[in-house]
Structure 1
Amino acid sequence: MDMTQAKISLTGPDDLLTTIPLLLGFHPEQSLVVVGLVDGDLECTFRVDLPGSAEHIEHLVDLTGQLSLNNCNQCVLIAYGDKDVAEAALERTKSRCDAAGIKPIERLRVSSGRWHGLDCPPDHSCPVAGSLIPETSAAACEVAVAGWYAAPDRETVAAQLQAAAPGRRAAVASSVEAILGGEVELDWAEQRGRDLHAVDHWLEAKELPDTDDIATLGLALGDLDIRDYALRRINSGRFERGRVDLWIWVARHLEEDLVAPAATVAGFAAYRSGNGVLALEAFELALRSSPHYRLAQMLMAALQSGLPPNALARIGGGDAEEMRGD
């Protein structure tokens, strides 16, 4: 299931709170989560860190621009953390949303596995201790069955992109040198055909590539036309989550000078399928290895501004020269 196209039925706080970790890709802590709605339908989800204390609430990131970019006219505000800073964050964010014409329909604070409603109707008796968040719900099951899961924390998400063992990377580096040596005997058309075939083959494959094929893909993605071809294939929607597992696998095995294209393609696949946290980690990896890699810079800026994934549909196309990297 592509989370950018899924219609998730939410009937109350339990459905929402059990689904949010799946939407984010990890269980949030000390966080403000803003769920954007369009006429009551879930449209987008954004998360930022809470400041260290209520006295520093002016440092809280304003997310109204991201909500407006996604045409949201309503939102649900959820703060995870200690009462003082969480409630200060909810109050500040409510004021910002009201000023932007985006109606907060509910504010929730989450702590120690329980949720507390800040907008309890006068004719309801809301439990002082809060309501226990269930382990799962119908909405969460729907998302989980589609293959989405929540990592325990943000660090676990980042760990998915850790470099492979030195011995494995050294083997790939040796294969890269051998391939480069052999390419002098190939004409341009033959080399291009082999690279396109490699992208197609591994997108369709059930397994992940080994040493020589990792080297082939890593070198191929360094060609802007091959990289953009991979982006177009991801945009076709034929492959579950754009085969982000493939691109991460390749990036993890490459030496630093080859990492940026593969990490950027991995980030694009994650972004396109709705996993913004994993996408951000991949773009950061690309820019650590090549700080001026233009496509990674542009995609990261788009992600941080709240540009919806479906707005990426033309990236990699022949008429999208402004999105071509350096």
Structure 2
Amino acid sequence: MHTTQARIRLNGPTDLLTTIPLLLGFHPDHSLVVVGLINGELQCTFRVDLPGSADHLEHLVDLTQQLSLNECDGCVVVVYGEAELAQAVSERVSVRYHAAGIEPLDLLRVAEGRWFSLTCSKPCCPAEGLPIPETSPASCEVAVAGGYAEADRSAIAAQLAPAPPGRRAAVSRAVLAALTSDAEIDWGAQRDLDLQAIDHWMDQKTLPDLEAIADVGLALGDLDIRDYALRRINSGRYEANRIDLWIWVARHLEDDLLAPAATVAGFAAYRFGNGVLALEAFELALKASPHYRLAQMLMAALQAGIPPGALSRVGCGGREEAEVSD
């Protein structure tokens, strides 16, 4: 199930604040988080770093464009940080959202495991704040849908860390061996083998061995095979879009083969609703191949706030709906 497809019921700040880390993929700190709403229902979640102090608010990305692109008519603003900066940030973004026709329904601050209302002074919202519980009914719904939260953003980047040198060297040797054997196979037969490899490993519960990693990595270098993998991801048939598979393959490849696999991993994460992991994967792809076009396009879409559902035709080209479904 896609976390982007899960229906999440939020009943107050506790539900919201326990759910945000699962939606982002990590526990935010020194951050502005805005939860976009349409008719009171959760539509999207965006996060950016805070500036160093209230004197540098001109450096703050206020996320108005992203909320507007997702057609939000309301939002909840949560600032993770110290009180003075949180007050200044919330006031600044509220003005921007009002001007864009997006109503800020609540302004909250989070610090040291407690939440504080920036708009309510009633006994329900004491000045000393209230503790944030570990879980809530809403966060459990998101967890069941596949959401999880790392301790911080660096832990997400670590998921894409290269495999040990010995394993990558073994995959490189397998790549050379595969290229030698592939020279004896005609294009049509090789294409069939590549398609079968994508289908096979997407259906498996285990991860490919070193030789199979080489086969999949080489296959993704063919744009037609890569797009086939994107269509399989878009089908929604595979648990968590098999993000684990694509990351596993990418981690074992050298730079000459890395960009397609990392981009497919990022696409799978993007479609699943894990924008932070997607961004890390696209950055990895572009570090290996700065001009890899699909990674450039998907990163631009992600940074602009284009919703995952808008990517349902990526990889389809001019194919008809029946062919894509088939």
* Range class of TM-score, shorter chain: over 0.9
CA distance in 1, matches of 2:219, 2:198: 8
User: Displaced runs of 4+ in structure 1, greater than 6 A?
Assistant: none
Does 2:56 correspond to 1:56?
yes
Residue 277 of structure 1 aligns to which amino acid in structure 2?
V
Contact residue 32 and residue 77 of structure 1 kept, 8 A: yes
Following TM superposition, by how much is the alpha carbon of 1:147 offset from its aligned partner in structure 2, in angstroms? 3.1
Contact residue 268 and residue 279 of structure 1 kept, 8 A: yes
Does 2:106 correspond to 1:95?
no
Residue 119 of structure 2 aligns to which amino acid in structure 1?
D
CA distance in 1, matches of 2:35, 2:70: 11
CA distance in 2, matches of 1:287, 1:262: 11
| Deviations 1:117-162, CA, capped at 9 Å, x for gaps | 11116x6563110011111111111112333210000000000000
Q: Equivalent residue for 2:164?
A: 165
Q: Equivalent residue for 2:31?
A: 31
CA distance 1:135–1:266, change in 2 (3 Å): same
Does 2:252 correspond to 1:263?
no
Mapping 1:41-52, distance limit 5 Å? 41-52=41-52
Query: 137-146 or 301-310, which moves further after superposition?
Result: 137-146
Q: Equivalent residue for 1:195?
A: 194
Residue 77 of structure 2 aligns to which amino acid in structure 1?
L
Following TM superposition, by how much is the alpha carbon of 1:318 offset from its aligned partner in structure 2, in angstroms? 2.7
CA distance 1:114–1:194, change in 2 (3 Å): same
CA distance in 2, matches of 1:61, 1:147: 29
| Deviations 1:238-296, CA, capped at 9 Å, x for gaps | 01121111000000000111000000000000000100000000000000000000000
Contact residue 57 and residue 85 of structure 1 kept, 8 A: no
| Deviations 1:48-94, CA, capped at 9 Å, x for gaps | 00001110011100201100111100000000011111211111111
Mapping 1:18-167, distance limit 5 Å? 18-120=18-120, 124=123, 126-167=125-166
Unaligned 5+ segments in structure 1 are 321-326
CA distance 1:217–1:125, change in 2 (3 Å): closer
Contact residue 232 and residue 316 of structure 1 kept, 8 A: yes
Residue 218 of structure 2 aligns to which amino acid in structure 1?
L
Contact residue 272 and residue 310 of structure 1 kept, 8 A: yes
CA distance in 1, matches of 2:220, 2:159: 20
When the two structures are superposed, what TM-score results if normalisation uses the length of structure 1? 0.96
CA distance in 1, matches of 2:223, 2:90: 44
CA distance in 1, matches of 2:117, 2:191: 59
| Deviations 1:193-227, CA, capped at 9 Å, x for gaps | 00000000000001000110000000000000000
Q: Equivalent residue for 1:254?
A: 253
CA distance in 2, matches of 1:273, 1:79: 25
CA distance in 2, matches of 1:249, 1:6: 26
Residue 34 of structure 1 aligns to which amino acid in structure 2?
V
Unaligned 5+ segments in structure 2 are 320-326
Note the aligned Cα RMSD (angstroms): 1.0
Contact residue 158 and residue 281 of structure 1 kept, 8 A: yes
Residue 35 of structure 2 aligns to which amino acid in structure 1?
V
Contact residue 3 and residue 146 of structure 2 kept, 8 A: no
Mapping 1:158-307, distance limit 5 Å? 158-307=157-306
Q: Equivalent residue for 1:324?
A: none
CA distance in 2, matches of 1:145, 1:230: 25
CA distance in 2, matches of 1:230, 1:125: 51
Residue 17 of structure 2 aligns to which amino acid in structure 1?
L
Contact residue 261 and residue 286 of structure 1 kept, 8 A: yes
| Deviations 1:147-182, CA, capped at 9 Å, x for gaps | 321000000000000000000000000000000011
Residue 103 of structure 1 aligns to which amino acid in structure 2?
E
Residue 19 of structure 1 aligns to which amino acid in structure 2?
T
When the two structures are superposed, what TM-score results if normalisation uses the length of structure 2? 0.96
